Structures are given as structure tokens and as C-alpha cells.
């Protein structure tokens, strides 16, 4: 199970666009879009900073940026889950399905325990179709530089 006493055996990183459109599965149920990036079995050592990138752990879904088809702000969340053991190889070949990593993490309640999971809002992105949609002049009272923050 996902209970961790002391250092976890491995960590799993899942990056998602929280505002991506939902999709209907073959069973006619509504599902969230696939994650943007999933790395499993990244090593963890409390004595050394853990860096998760394309070379650590197993990439179940290689990094892909968000594909924005609307003009809304999209929040990109990174979730890191601590696991007592490494995820078995049989669950590292896909995200969805009975032998997908998502199913394994749900079965071991990795998403449910807030003491074993950390969620970070890393960025918010917005797509503009035309340059003309951006404000043409700075707001009244703004200094010499100004930015739009969310």
C-alpha cells in the first residue's frame, strides 16, 4: 500500500492541465484528459535533493506541453506521490486501463492520502489567437513595465 514510514521507496510525478476538456470513454463515462507528464519510480533520498526529469525513474508518459484550443487560463498542476515500494513493471507501460499506472495508484490509494501527496500549481498558461486580442496599451497607473498575472 502507499503507507510510508520514513523515506519513501520511490515517488511518482503526475502533471495535469486542470482545465483541459473532459472526454467520454468507451463505457460512456466522463474522464479527465490524460496527464501531460508521468514519471514513476523516481528514487528518493531525504539527505539529497530529489530532481525529477527525463532521466530519473520511468517515463510512463513523456513530457508534452498543454495544447490550448481555447482562450481560457489553464492551470498546470504537478502532483508528487510518495510510495513505500516501487511500482511493478507491469503497470509502467500505460496510464489507463486495468494494467495502467492510474489504476495501480488508485488501488493503493496514492491519490487519497494528503500526507503522502503534494500538489503544486506550477504555471498558468493562456492562448491568444491573434495579437490584436492582447491589450494595446498599459492600464492607467501602471509603471514602465506591466504584466498580466493569474
Cell triple for residue 122?
A: 506550477
Higher-confidence residue of 132 and 64: namely 64
Give residue-wise pLDDT tens across range 135-145.
Answer: 555 455 444 33
**Cα 41 to Cα 8, 38, 65, 139, distances in angstroms:** 10, 10, 22, 48
The secondary structure of residue 105, as a DSSP letter, is H
Record the pTM: 0.74
Cα gap 82→112, rounded to integer Å = 12
**pLDDT above 90 for 94:** yes
**pLDDT above 80 for 46:** no
Range of weakest confidence among 89-98, 116-125, 138-147? 138-147
Cα gap 135→68, rounded to integer Å = 20
In the three-class reduction of DSSP (H, G, I as helix; E, B as strand; rest coil), residue 118 is classed as strand
Higher-confidence residue of 108 and 135: namely 108
**pLDDT above 60 for 112:** yes
Give residue-wise pLDDT tens across range 65-76.
Answer: 888 877 788 888
pLDDT-above-70 percentage for the chain? 73
Listed residue (78, 91, 87, 86) closest to 117, CA to CA: 78
Amino acid at each position: 500500500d502507499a503507507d510510508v514510514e520514513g523515506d519513501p521507496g520511490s515517488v511518482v510525478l503526475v502533471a495535469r492541465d486542470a482545465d483541459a476538456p473532459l472526454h467520454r470513454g468507451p463505457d460512456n463515462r466522463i474522464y479527465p484528459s490524460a496527464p501531460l507528464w508521468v514519471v514513476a519510480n523516481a528514487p528518493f533520498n531525504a539527505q539529497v535533493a530529489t530532481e525529477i526529469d527525463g532521466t530519473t525513474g520511468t517515463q510512463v508518459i513523456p513530457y508534452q506541453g498543454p495544447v490550448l484550443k481555447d482562450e481560457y487560463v489553464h492551470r498546470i498542476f504537478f502532483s508528487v506521490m510518495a510510495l513505500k515500494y516501487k511500482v511493478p513493471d507491469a503497470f509502467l507501460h500505460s496510464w489507463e486501463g486495468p494494467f495502467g499506472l492510474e489504476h495501480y495508484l488508485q488501488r493503493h490509494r496514492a491519490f487519497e492520502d494528503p500526507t503522502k501527496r503534494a500538489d503544486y500549481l506550477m504555471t498558468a498558461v493562456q492562448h491568444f489567437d491573434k495579437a490584436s486580442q492582447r491589450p494595446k496599451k498599459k492600464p492607467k497607473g501602471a509603471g514602465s513595465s506591466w504584466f498580466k498575472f493569474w
